[in-house]
Structure 1
Amino acid sequence: MATEDGPLERRHPLITLVPSTLTRMLAPIAAGTAVIAMAPLMGGYSNTNYRVSLAGWPAPVVLRLYVGGAAVAHIERAIMARLRGRVPMPELLFADPDGQIVGQPYAILSWVAGEPLDAALATADAATTAACAHAAGQVLAAIHAEQMPCAGFFAPDLSILTPMSGAGSEWAAYVTNCIVPGNGHRWLGEARTERLLGFVAEHAAAMTTTGEPAVLLHADFQGQNLLMRPAGASWEVAAVLDWEFAYAGSPCFDIGQFLRIEDDQPAQYAQSFIAGYRAGGGTLPPDWHRRAKLLDLLNLAQFLDTPDARPRLHAQVIRWIDATLMRQI
């Protein structure tokens, strides 16, 4: 995500590496190979990713350092293995999810050439916007084709470690707790906080999903994590990146993330995305748009639950929350 004032503030600072540590991390795939260049990739706001160019290698590699620990690294590796050949993503060249080499969980991924979707949309005409959104919808349907036994958070082997009840009260409690006693109220202000909490209480009962099928969710399915490239007269997704937030739940969760920016895009953005999703085999409940917007409040409330001020992030998130509150849901 970015604003007109620049990229949003990171959740975690970049992890810096001294040359000796970098050498040890690259040794499993490139022992004795000189590093020509190394630069941080600015797309993610949690983990640290470096583009590394190696002497004699035809393309760079991506060195990915996990801040969420071994469990997150194992889950991402398991998802990449399960979806290989069905969802475009980088090749996993090496992984040390337990941090045995340098005490830091990390992976080395192939470099995938492409333009982040949010960057492509910044200069796209309506036809390009529609083509990119349609391609993204098809890929999301392929991800959601992975059925899960129930909603919940994953164990390292993708079994469900922490099931979710699916009760609307669970959704309402999470959003509310991010605002009060969480830090969200500090950035929303008293009037907006009161309005949001009332809105959440009003819609809690309707958010019950007990008995609905659960699918694999990317859980960060938006512009910076989708690399796009031209494909003939159209566009395609070159790679889906950054699976560290993945869990099992309602497909409307990912859809809400992708459509978060729909008010800033031509009408073809949302229309083509849903058309692509359905063309790829995805199915949606009749009230999918309403559910998508309400589920995205889980993300937006979490973005506000920070003890420190993040002016660009908070301003953007509040704008999205206001848009949801003003909708006739």
Structure 2
Amino acid sequence: MSEPLNESPELASLQPLEGGWSGETFLAEAGGDRTVVRIFAGLRHLPEAAQIQAALLRLVDGLLPVPRVLELRRADPVADMPALLVTSFLPGTRGDLLLPTLDRAGLARLGAACGRIAGTLGGMPMLRRGTFVDGDLRIEPFELDLPAYVDGLGLDLPGLAEVAEAAQALLDEEPRTCLVHSDLNPKNLLVDPDTVAITGVLDWEFAHAGHPFTDLGNLLRFERDPAYVEAVLAAYAELRGTPPARALDLARAADLVALAELASREGANPVATRAAALLRAIARTGDLHATD
């Protein structure tokens, strides 16, 4: 159930926030307090998107560092008012901005913190795989056929079909389902620049119930520095018990879904272009661990 917004934010006073939900997320300040306001406008959002994200933040609150839900307003089509979600403002520097400044020790600290986030999510069981459809987090089930999915994207990459078949076989060995953030990468993490502790896990727009190694794959997609990778895998193993080498194999296999989808949009943005280069290397070598 949603709560009414007691005092509507003055939209003219909102300042756009960089990163994350570009053009939809704003910083509001009143009486010395800072809050974050997300406006759910446009056709790309599910009707219940604001309620779903509010429910997810409440679900993981206390387990992960996430903003507190302060206010929630449902959309009012008659008044042409979009849904709004107001949350607390969390301090920190975006992880993708901090990463290039870290030495080996800093990379290891951040990697360990990221591994614990992925491991915590990997330990939050769900009954079936699927997408969330409302604020009660009801699930619309789906079953992923990775080879068919990749084929449907129309990517002309010799060798990719064989890689997808091998990845699907590996993923089938781990049938468990958990809560998946699905966009867990440094861009969506806030980090204390002094302690390198994670202060916020943001952008839950693509969260779903899915494979327990999906988030790990996202964390390790482009960040390949050994200090970071080894720390991520060690922290994940400490929580979930999966040996690092096997976890890395499963992570790469699980990430093939997102990698292929991004590659299908090559040229749309730098991330999609980089993903396409990485996917070409994987298809060419037949190795999920290939680099571009």
The TM tier, using the shorter chain, reads: 0.7 to 0.9
Q: How does 1:16-165 map to 2 (within 5 A)?
A: 28-30=5-7, 37-44=13-20, 48-54=24-30, 56=31, 58-66=32-40, 67-99=44-76, 102-156=80-134, 157-164=136-143
User: For residue 177 of structure 1, what is the aligned residue in structure 2?
Assistant: 152
For residue 254 of structure 1, report the CA deviation from its aligned partner: 0.6
CA 1:154/1:260 → structure 2, altered by over 3 Å: closer, same or farther? same
Segments of 4+ in structure 1 off by > 6 A? 33-36
- Matches of 1:277 and 1:204, distance apart in 2: 20
Contact 1:90–1:112 at 8 Å: present in 2 too? yes
What is the Cα deviation at residue 75 of structure 1? Answer: 1.8
Counterpart-to-counterpart distance in 2, 1:102 and 1:111: 27
Deviations 1:54-91 (A, max 9, x none): 3x2x2322111234132322221111111111111011
Cα deviation code 1:170-225 (max 9, x no counterpart): 111112212x1xxxx4xxxx5xx233234324x26514527721110111100111
Unmatched tracts of structure 2, length 5 or more: none
**Over the residues paired in the alignment, what is the CA RMSD in angstroms?**
2.8
Structure 1 residue identity aligned to 2:46:
G
Any unmatched runs of 5+ in structure 1? 1-26
Answering whether residue 263 of structure 2 is matched by residue 289 of structure 1, we say no
Contact 1:145/1:282 (<8 A) preserved: yes
Q: Does 1:262 align with 2:226?
A: no
**1:217 — aligned with what?**
180
TM-score, normalised to structure 2, is 0.83
The answer (yes or no) to whether the contact 1:129–1:269 under 8 Å persists in 2 is: yes
SS at match of 1:235: coil
SS in 1 for 2:14: strand
What SS does structure 2 have at the residue aligned with 1:244? coil
Give the Cα separation in 1 of the matches to 2:168 and 2:7: 55
SS of the aligned residue for 2:91 comes to coil
Give the length in aligned residue pairs.
Answer: 278
Q: Which residue of 2 aligns with 1:312?
A: 270
TM-score of the two chains, using structure 1 as the length reference: 0.75
**Is 2:216 the counterpart of 1:252?**
no
Q: Distance in 2 between matches of 1:87 and 1:228?
A: 13
> 1:132 touches 1:235 (CA, 8 Å); kept in 2?
yes
Where 1:68 maps in the other structure, the secondary structure is coil
- Relative distance call for 1:204 and 1:261 in structure 2 (3 A) is closer
Structure with greater helix share of residues: 1
Q: Which amino acid aligns with 1:256?
A: G
Task: Find the residue that maps to 1:127 and give its secondary structure.
Answer: helix
Work out the percentage of aligned pairs sharing the same amino acid.
25
